[in-house]
Amino acid sequence: MFLDGLDDLDKKILERLIKNARISYSQIGEEIGISRVAVKMRVQALEKRGIIEEYTAIVNPDKISGALSYYFEIEVKPQYLEEVIDILNKQATITQIYRTTGSSHLHVHAIASSNEEMESLIHDIIDKLPGLKNCNSYMIVSRIKDIKGLRL
């Protein structure tokens, strides 16, 4: 199981933080039967081990007027992969970059504030990527299920 190395209390703490990252240590402690201090120490240990990477607010782009969300499947020649990743990483409209199986494929997510901003990303950046072999883009019209991070 991929959660080996975590005891039952750590799993219970993570379940609650995943559901609500703003939950208090006291509330977690009450729910799982340990003290607030014990919860805090365990959370700090999980952070130190890199199991918990960050806490963040997730903004729903569907609720912002004019926001456009796209996925790109990008294939580049292998020798250009690192350079392409560096170029894409510097773009503010790009929110996620994943390396996928296959021949140097990248799965990229971008959110733009307008058609013009998305067109600029495509025309000025993506179309001009070094070693570009193929790019498919998909506009997201609605989110049906969108889970962030690992679910226990």
- Residues 143 and 141: their CA atoms lie apart, in Å, by 7
* Domain enclosing residue 21, as ranges: 8-48
User: Is residue 53, in this structure, part of any structural domain at all?
Assistant: no
- Regarding whether 131 and 78 lie in a shared domain, the answer is yes
Where residue 47 falls among pLDDT bands split at 50, 70, 90?
A: very high
For residue 147, is it within any domain?
no
Q: What is the pLDDT of residue 3?
A: 57
Whether 36 and 99 share a structural domain: no
125 has a pLDDT exceeding 90: yes
Highest mean pLDDT among 59-63, 90-94, 138-142: 90-94
pLDDT computed for residue 31 by the predictor? 97
Domain presence at residue 27: yes
Asked whether residue 81 falls in the same domain as residue 126, the answer is: yes
Question: Is residue 149 assigned to a domain?
Answer: no
Q: Please tell me the total count of domains within the chain.
A: 2
Of 2, 60, 12, give the one whose Cα is nearest residue 38: 12
> For the purposes of burial, counting CB atoms within 10 Å of the CB of 93, is it exposed (0-12), middle (13-18) or buried (19 or more)?
middle
CATH number at residue 108: 3.30.70.920
Q: What CA–CA distance (Å, rounded) separates 89 from 9? A: 37
Question: Mean pLDDT, to the nearest integer, of 21-32?
Answer: 96
Regarding whether 92 and 65 lie in a shared domain, the answer is: yes
Give me the mean pLDDT over the 40-65 stretch: 85
- The average pLDDT across 34-59 equals 91
Res. 1: pLDDT tops 50: no
Claim to verify: residue 99 and residue 135 sit in the same structural domain: yes
User: Is pLDDT of 103 > 80?
Assistant: no
Has residue 56 been placed in a domain?
no
Residue 55 lies in a domain: no
Q: Are residues 71 and 31 in the same domain?
A: no
